[in-house]
Amino acid sequence: MEKNNRLIVFDTTLRDGEQTPGVNLNLQEKIEIAKQLEALGVDVIEAGFPASSNGDFEAVQGVAQSVSCSVAALCRCVISDIERGWEAVKNSKKPRIHVFIATSEIHMKYKLKMKQDDVFKQAVDCVRFAKSLCDDVEFSCEDASRSEPEFLYKILTAVIDAGASTVNIPDTVGYKITNEFGEFIAGIKRNVPNIEKAVISVHCHNDLGLAVANTIVALQNGARQIETTINGIGERAGNCSMEEVIMAITTRKDILHIPHNIDTTAIYRTAKRVSKLTGVPIPICKPIVGDNAFAHESGVHQHGVLANPLTYEIMTPESVGKTESTLVLGKLSGRHAFAAHIKTLNYELDKNGLESAFLRFKDLADKKKKITDDDIEALISNRTQDVRETYRLESFQLQTGNKIKSLAGITLSYKDNEYTETAVGDGPVNAAYNAITKIIGGEWPLSAYEIKAVTEGRDALGEVTVRIKKYDRIFVGKGVSHDVIAASILAYINAVNRAEESQR
């Protein structure tokens, strides 16, 4: 294979993926996801949009200093954006500045209120300025798929001459049909005279369900960087799913002769971790990582799989890391064995975090005979030290039944004082939430509630994810416990604490 044939995987889970409504990752969560992406084998992590807020700046800066792979900062074609972006990534081992400007007539006319000549000049000037700061500059034509081809060829030629080493062609609104998009990329390859000096990248949205197909056909027509997210998360219908493209390339290497650096056995763990930290569930029928991706209920299918898995499985669960790994630790296990095992799960905890996780593990080991890695990941991903505990649950009592109104008594600690309230509700969870809001005051409407078992069996941990609306934003809270009521209460308090932290 030619060296320049290798696929460059550009992950934008922390930027475009975080634009999923209701997703608000804090700094520690972004760094945790970034480290998992690096372990997966991602080449470039787009960590955020530094000029958009101080929080995004700090997140990009934190990620840039925490991983060894390339870290990109997204910037508009605005000098102050580029300066802010460079400040965030300059201490990265492999910094990249990613600048963008819209090039379609509809965007230029109604959003930018600029003419083609003005967009052209601004793009070239900003790429040249970015290049003066950073060796690795990427240029994106926002809404490229609806742009006039001749203008696109002209602006791409100029930004490559100005120093862009990657040119990204987004299908920003998921508009192109697959064969049309393939020809679109081929047209760029044919009509941009200096295109060999840059890597062609594609960034496909999934509005028509074609993001993965369009990404693959772009690769067949000369693109060599893909911009994707884990689980396909993102605004509107989401982005191209990394795991689906990678497994398509891996499974059909007879047609797609494109090497990559992704460790496919780390895909499932990465998908689960992103789902837990963002609070966005993985659909059960999601290709590659969904719960049903390797499940067979039809008798005909079951018979075939038992005879030879290849009859209905074109890849194995093991190839994406989807195996049930049982932790060979128990209530007599020590801290060193526990610490060694969580390192194999790619978690790095400080002394306090490790002690807290170990105590929760010991408590779990007293109640559960069979402990799996999923149990451990649930305990660790639910650690509360990532969010300042403005309110902490001290105790709760419930009275409920099918013939009475549920009654909940909740005690929370706040600023070294304890406060207790009781409330009734339509069920124990509603009663508990009513009691909590009586303590903290104000309106804290619940917009979503989800409960699921972490593992199988009657002794499974319950994992609850809630979304509450406050301060004109959505905040996600998570709670894990053997007791689903306790998990529900912990999730609600976690969401409240995230909302309070956002106001500091």
User: For residue range 11-58, what is the model confidence (pLDDT) as tens digits?
Assistant: 999 999 999 988 889 999 999 999 999 999 999 999 999 999 999 999
Burial string for 282-312 (b: 16+ CB within 10 Å, else e) reads beeebebbbeebbebeeeeeeebbeeeeeee
Q: Rounded to whole angstroms, how far apart are CA atoms 314 and 250?
A: 11
Residues 84-128 have pLDDT tens digits of: 999 999 999 999 999 999 999 999 999 999 999 999 999 999 999
Least confident of 15-29, 411-425, 445-459: 445-459
Strands 95-102 and 392-399: unpaired
Query: What is the per-residue DSSP string for 351-413?
Result: HHHHHHHHHHHHHHHHH-S--BHHHHHHHHHT-GGGS--SSEEEEEEEE--SSS-EEEEEEEE
Cβ distance 45 to 230 under 8 Å?
A: no
Residues 349-392 have pLDDT tens digits of: 888 888 888 887 887 777 776 677 778 877 776 654 467 889 99
Burial string for 433-452 (b: 16+ CB within 10 Å, else e) reads bbbbbebbeeebebeebeee
Least confident of 217-226, 320-329, 367-376, 444-453: 320-329
Q: Is the pLDDT of residue 332 over 50?
A: yes
Report the percent of the chain where pLDDT is more than 70. Answer: 91
Matching residue, tokens 């991903």? 381
Q: Is the pLDDT of residue 2 over 60?
A: no
Q: Rounded to whole angstroms, how far apart are CA atoms 402 and 426?
A: 10
How many contiguous H segments (helices) and E segments (strands) does the chain have?
Answer: 16, 14
Report the alpha-carbon angle 200-205-207, nearest 5: 150
Highest-confidence range of 204-218, 312-326, 370-384, by mean pLDDT? 204-218
Q: Which residues contact 117 (CB under 8 A, 6 or more apart)?
A: none
Q: Rounded to whole angstroms, how far apart are CA atoms 255 and 19?
A: 34
Q: Rounded to whole angstroms, how far apart are CA atoms 235 and 227?
A: 14
pLDDT at 357: 84
Q: Rounded to whole angstroms, how far apart are CA atoms 103 and 126?
A: 15
pLDDT at 344: 79
User: Structure pTM?
Assistant: 0.83
According to DSSP, residue 205 is labeled B
Q: Is the pLDDT of residue 463 over 60?
A: yes
Average confidence (pLDDT) over 65-69: 97
What band does 1 get if pLDDT is binned at 50, 70 and 90? very low
Q: Is the pLDDT of residue 255 over 80?
A: yes
pLDDT at 481: 86
Q: Is the pLDDT of residue 327 over 80?
A: no
Cβ distance 163 to 131 under 8 Å?
A: yes
Query: What is the per-residue DSSP string for 31-87?
Result: HHHHHHHHHHT-SEEEEE-GGG-HHHHHHHHHHHTT-SSEEEEEEES-HHHHHHHHH
Of 3 and 474, the structure prediction assigns the larger pLDDT to 474
Average pLDDT, the chain: 91
